[in-house]
């Protein structure tokens, strides 16, 4: 019996993002759709040296929000070395899409509400919740700005907690921002 080969796709890209006067270079690794054993292993190898995780779900697919709670948040918490994460609801435009609403209604479900997204964010311990839509170009930059803020807050907290005195904090902060 021949076994089909499987190729893991990982997209990498970098972007400079201006946040509160600073312009850090941010490196992204997108591991979308890797839900089998090989994908799990490959994805987790990428968790080393991560500053923040962005966990996404589709507002037009309530099942994807459940997957955040039962699969993705636990995985990040278990394998992510205590790195913080933000929760992002993609496809916010689908709340107003009559075809999508009809499709969901036929299945007895509705698009995820803002309150459900916010409540899930609190439940799983996310740094924040952001909704976005690439179709109408809504809040895309805001997602990445919040990711940078999250990473900065996390690293700043680690610097302060790990510092023995204020001079050490100042020295470490200088190293962090340069």
Q: What confidence tens digit (pLDDT) does each residue in 52-99 have?
A: 889 999 999 999 999 999 988 998 888 877 889 999 999 999 999 999
Residue 115 domain flag: yes
Q: Kindly tell me if the per-residue pLDDT of 10 is higher than 70.
A: no
Indicate whether 84 belongs to any domain: yes
Distance of CA 164 to CAs 50, 168, 177, Å? Answer: 25, 6, 19
pLDDT score of 169? 44
Quick check: is 4 in a domain?
no
Q: Are strands 11-16 and 25-30 parallel, antiparallel or unpaired?
A: antiparallel
Higher-confidence position of 34 and 129: 129
Kindly indicate the confidence band of residue 151, based on its pLDDT and cuts at 50, 70 and 90: confident
Range of the domain at 131: 11-177
Let me know if residue 169 belongs to a domain. yes
Residue 1 resides in a domain? no
* Total-model pTM: 0.76
Q: Would you say 63 and 72 are in contact if contact means Cβ atoms under 8 Å apart?
A: no
Report the half-sphere exposure of 79 (CA within 13 A, side-chain side).
15
First to last CA, the chain: 56
Q: How confident is the model at residue 168 (pLDDT cuts 50, 70, 90)?
A: very low
Asked if the structure places residue 38 within a domain, the reply is: yes
Instruction: Note whether residue 3 is domain-resident.
Output: no
Q: What's the structural domain count of the chain?
A: 1
Please check whether residue 60 lies inside any domain of the structure. yes
**CATH number of 115's domain:** 3.40.50.300
């Amino acid at each position: 019996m021949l076994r089909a080969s499987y190729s893991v796709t990982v997209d990498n890209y970098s972007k400079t993002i201006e946040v509160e006067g600073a312009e850090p270079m941010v490196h992204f690794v997108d591991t979308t759709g890797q839900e089998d054993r090989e994908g799990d292993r490959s994805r987790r190898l990428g968790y080393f040296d991560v500053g923040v995780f962005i966990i996404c779900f589709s507002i037009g697919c309530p099942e994807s929000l459940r997957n955040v709670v039962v699969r993705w948040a636990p995985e990040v918490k278990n394998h992510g070395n205590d790195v913080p994460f933000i929760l992002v609801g993609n496809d916010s435009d689908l709340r107003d899409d009559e075809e999508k609403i009809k499709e969901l209604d036929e299945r007895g479900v509705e698009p995820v509400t803002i309150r459900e997204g916010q409540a899930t964010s609190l439940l799983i311990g996310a740094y924040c919740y952001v909704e976005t839509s690439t179709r109408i170009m809504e809040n895309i930059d805001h997602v990445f700005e919040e990711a940078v803020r999250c990473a900065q807050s996390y690293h700043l907290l680690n610097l302060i907690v790990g510092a023995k005195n204020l001079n050490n904090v100042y020295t470490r902060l200088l190293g962090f921002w340069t």
